[in-house]
Every structure is written in structure tokens, then in C-alpha cells.
């Protein structure tokens, strides 16, 4: 298997806190070789470029003319991300793009390039692949809770990220039956967003406020309501076995994206479920873990025709369709039917 030659475009907070460290770890595992970093202020990236053994460039053109690379991490400002992503894809480079997905027009261009040039384009939906999200998915897959009936997103994720998390839980969506949304004004100037997405065999609900106001929610959760019980963020409630809290290590974990988490475990009916990171750096946050999972699979997929991406551009663009319909439903105060919008009719 060839080592993927990788470049990082950008030098902001996410690069400094996450991508530099992740690349250092993956490089040690021989999953990639970070050969170059591009940032308009080269001095900002010099310190971790040296750790990676990467050359530094101030413009993408300089980097592309000087280095042979297979893939790129793109972590730049949203207004520049679309243009740069298209430029790199046209050069035949596999892409790992900061979330959210590029604009609709650029996204469709990238999707076409992905197919014609056999590219792997992943979206960095780190919280959707966090330890808790993976743990919920494993519990659901065990069959102990039966079929998933309702996903109730109580302010845990804004809808774009909530839909990505839904993909992670259940794979491809079944046919959409209806989309509805309402925007409610709250005393004090806040807004409450209520969303509903009805599939043929699944219902997705969400409610969150802008700005975030935790006092307006009973509990911040991403809750899976199943035939035989509920799988929450911190506990399960099973019809037969009752209430069982997750055991967490370290015990002082505060549940924030920056919180350090080494292990989640639970025992149900003598079945032991464990998520642990014993082989990974102790200091990693939830975002580190989610990005590591996505990046590792992305790098593996570049070297293998059989490897599929965990989220990917196509799923992300389908989720953007849904967001457009939610926006329309909120303005019209109607439940929209998919036959009114043919591109929404089937998202399988």
C-alpha cells in the first residue's frame, strides 16, 4: 500500500489544535506523509511544520508547483473554501474538507469531479462521529432495543450536524414523506427552531434556540427512541432492564466537545458494551476522536477501491437539500411533501 502524500491548506485554530496533531499521529502509524503546509502567514505554521517534516508555502500555487501530493486537508475561511476545493479537485487531489459542505453550486461541481476523477472527498463532521455517537450506534446495532422509531435531537446538534449524525446511526435514509419547520420568537429576542423530518419508517425531530439558551431545554440530548427503550447521551432506559447510566472515564468528564474521554461502558442483560481509546493519545478530545475516525477511513479509502467514506460529499449534499426544505417550510408554515420537490423524493 502506498503512503498517501498529504498537504494541509490553512493555519487557523482547527489546524493548530486538531489537524497538525492528527497528522503527526497518523504519520507515525504510516497512514500518510504530510509533505507541505500552505498558509498566507507562513510564520504561524512553522513550529508544527517542523514537527511534521513539512515544507511551508504562502500560496496554493507555490505548493502545487513544488510538491507531489495525493490529497489535501482544506481548513480555510468559508468564503475561500469553495474556490480552493474546486481548484484542488481539478488537479485530481482527494479532499478532506472542513464542515459544512461547500455551497450547492460548488458541491455539485465537486461531486462531478469526484466521479470523473475517482476522488475521495470527505467532510469533517467530527461531532457526528464522536465517542458518544459511536457508542449509540453500537447499542442500536446490538438489537437489544429493537427498531429505531424516532430520533429526538434536543439541542445537542444544530440540524446540519444532526443529519450527519443520523447518517452515521442508520446509514442511508429511506424515502422522505414530509418536511416541516417553524421559527418561534421567544421573549428577549431569542429564536426557537422546531424541525420535523418524516421518513417512511423513521421520524427525526429537533428543537434548538439561537443564541443557545440552555434554560429553554429540559435536557441537552440526542435521543434514540426505539421499540423497547431509549438510548440517550448519558444513559439508556430499557423496557425490561430499566434505567442504566453510562460509566465514563475519566469521571470528571464534563461532556463538552473539549472534554477528555477515555472510555464509555455499560452492561445490559450480561452484554458488555465498551468504547475505549486505550491506543490513542490520552489528551485527545471528542473532536480529536471523531476526526481521527473520519481521517483514518478517508486515507484507507484512497488506497482501496473497496473502502467507503463514513460521511462523504454525496450524503452531505443530500442533507443540504433537506436544510433548504426546512427553510422553506419555516417561511411558509407548511408541511412540504417530497412530490412538490422531485430532488427530495428519494434519498436512499
Average pLDDT over residues 149-154: 93
Domain that holds residue 12: 4-119
Q: Which of 247, 262, 287 is a domain's end point?
A: 287
Give me the pLDDT at residue 215, please: 54
pLDDT at 342: 55
User: Are residue 103 and residue 154 in the same domain, yes or no?
Assistant: no
Asked, for residue 297, whether it belongs to a domain, the answer is no
Q: Say whether both 181 and 203 belong to one domain.
A: yes
User: Using one digit for the tens of pLDDT, what is the confidence trace for 203-213?
Assistant: 999 987 776 65
Give me the sheet containing 190-199, strands edge to edge.
242-245, 235-238, 229-231, 221-226, 148-154, 203-210, 190-199, 176-186, 335-336
Same domain, 108 and 201: no
Question: Do residue 106 and residue 149 come from a single domain?
Answer: no
Tell me the pLDDT tens digit for each residue of 279-301.
Answer: 899 889 999 999 999 999 999 99
Which of 287, 309, 334 finishes a domain? 287
In terms of domains, do 68 and 159 share one?
no
Rounded (10°) angle between helices 131-141 and 159-170: 40
CA 15, 17, 20, 23: dihedral to nearest 10 degrees? Answer: -110
Residues 64 and 110 in one domain: yes
Model confidence at 324: pLDDT above 50 = yes
pLDDT tens digits along 161-192: 999 999 999 887 778 888 998 888 877 777 78
Based on the fold, state whether residues 112 and 134 are members of the same structural domain.
no
In a domain, residue 244? The reply is yes
- pTM for this one? 0.91
Same domain, 136 and 113: no
Amino acid at each position: 500500500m502506498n503512503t498517501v502524500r498529504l498537504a494541509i491548506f490553512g493555519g487557523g485554530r482547527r489546524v493548530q489544535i486538531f489537524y497538525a496533531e492528527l497528522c503527526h499521529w497518523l504519520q507515525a502509524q504510516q497512514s500518510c506523509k504530510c509533505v507541505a503546509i500552505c498558509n498566507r502567514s507562513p510564520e504561524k505554521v512553522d513550529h508544527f511544520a517542523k514537527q511534521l517534516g513539512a515544507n511551508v508555502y504562502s500560496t496554493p500555487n507555490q505548493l502545487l508547483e513544488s510538491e507531489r501530493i495525493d490529497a489535501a486537508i482544506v481548513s480555510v475561511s468559508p468564503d475561500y473554501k469553495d474556490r480552493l476545493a474546486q481548484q484542488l479537485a481539478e488537479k485530481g487531489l482527494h479532499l478532506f474538507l472542513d464542515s459544512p459542505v461547500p455551497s450547492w453550486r460548488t458541491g455539485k461541481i465537486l461531486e462531478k469531479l469526484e466521479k470523473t476523477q475517482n476522488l475521495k472527498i470527505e467532510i469533517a463532521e467530527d461531532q457526528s462521529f464522536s465517542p458518544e455517537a459511536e457508542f449509540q450506534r453500537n447499542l442500536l446495532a446490538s438489537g437489544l432495543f429493537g427498531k429505531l422509531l424516532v430520533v429526538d435531537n434536543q439541542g445537542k446538534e444544530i440540524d446540519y450536524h444532526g443529519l450527519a449524525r443520523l447518517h452515521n446511526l442508520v446509514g442511508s435514509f429511506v424515502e422522505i414523506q414530509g418536511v416541516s419547520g417553524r421559527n418561534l420568537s421567544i421573549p428577549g429576542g431569542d429564536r426557537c427552531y422546531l424541525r420535523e423530518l418524516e421518513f417512511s419508517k423513521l421520524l427525526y425531530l429537533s428543537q434548538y434556540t439561537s443564541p443557545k439558551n440552555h434554560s429553554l431545554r429540559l435536557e441537552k440530548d440526542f435521543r434514540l427512541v426505539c421499540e423497547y427503550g431509549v438510548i440517550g447521551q448519558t444513559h439508556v432506559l430499557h423496557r425490561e432492564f430499566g434505567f442504566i447510566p453510562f460509566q465514563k472515564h475519566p469521571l470528571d468528564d464534563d461532556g463538552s466537545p473539549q472534554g477528555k474521554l477515555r472510555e464509555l461502558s455499560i452492561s445490559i442483560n450480561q452484554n458488555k458494551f465498551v468504547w475505549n481509546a486505550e491506543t490513542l493519545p490520552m489528551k485527545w478530545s471528542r473532536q480529536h476522536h471523531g476526526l481521527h475516525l473520519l481521517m483514518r477511513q478517508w486515507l484507507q479509502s484512497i488506497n482501496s477501491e473497496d473502502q467507503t467514506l463514513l460521511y462523504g460529499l454525496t450524503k452531505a449534499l443530500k442533507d443540504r437539500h433537506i436544510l433548504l426544505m426546512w427553510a422553506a417550510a419555516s417561511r411558509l408554515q407548511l408541511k412540504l411533501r417530497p412530490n412538490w420537490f422531485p430532488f427530495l423524493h428519494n434519498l436512499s
